[in-house]
Amino acid sequence: MPIFKRCAKRAAGRAASAATPEPLAFEITMDELRAIERVTFHARTRLRELSDSPASTVIDASGSALVPVLYERAGAAHALGSSGIPMLVSEITNVEAAVLNLESYAGHEVVLCEGYTLLNRFAFLKGQARVTQEIGGVVTLPGEAVDAPNPSPS
């Protein structure tokens, strides 16, 4: 019998971590991030104007809480020398919610079309998703960082 049941606890911890799927993400561009911002903020504006829901519900339903998170990742990606911004596959639902609410609350047609374009693009990018890693609490994608040119020796 193991002392203090350490072996059993370790095995249970490994089994629990093995059952939890690793988060998957794909890379978006800065232009796509700006489009997400336009779509989700327009959805938030329409929901505020036409709904009597509490502010927290409006933020959740519009998907606008995603934007600051993506900008944080954009900063980390830039610092790491990456050209793309990680977006979790599970975060596509935020953009879907924004588009759905733009349909329901008479969103501007151009912004609605931009939302559908994003969703089509994300459906494609979802197939290129890879396992994420965290650096300093910020989601990043593993990979080779772009090296800065080395100064030539004088």
pTM value is: 0.77
Q: What is the DSSP string of 31-77?
A: HHHHHHHHHHHHHHHHHHHH----HHHHHHHHTTTHHHHHHHHHHHH
Residue 97 · residue 44 · CB < 8 Å: no
Which tokens go with 128? 């290129």
Confidence check: pLDDT of 139 > 80: yes
What confidence tier does 37 reach under pLDDT thresholds 50, 70, 90? very high
pLDDT tens digits, 16-30: 555 567 899 999 999
Question: Which range has the worst mean pLDDT, 58-67, 103-112, 113-122?
Answer: 58-67
Residue 76 · residue 136 · CB < 8 Å: yes
pLDDT for res 11: 59
3-class state of residue 97 by DSSP: helix
Buried b (16+ CB within 10 A) or exposed e, 55-88: eeebbebbbbebbeebeebbebbeeeebebbbbb
Residue 43 · residue 61 · CB < 8 Å: yes
Write down the residue that tokens 């919610």 correspond to.
97
Tell me which H or E stretch contains 78.
Answer: helix 66-80
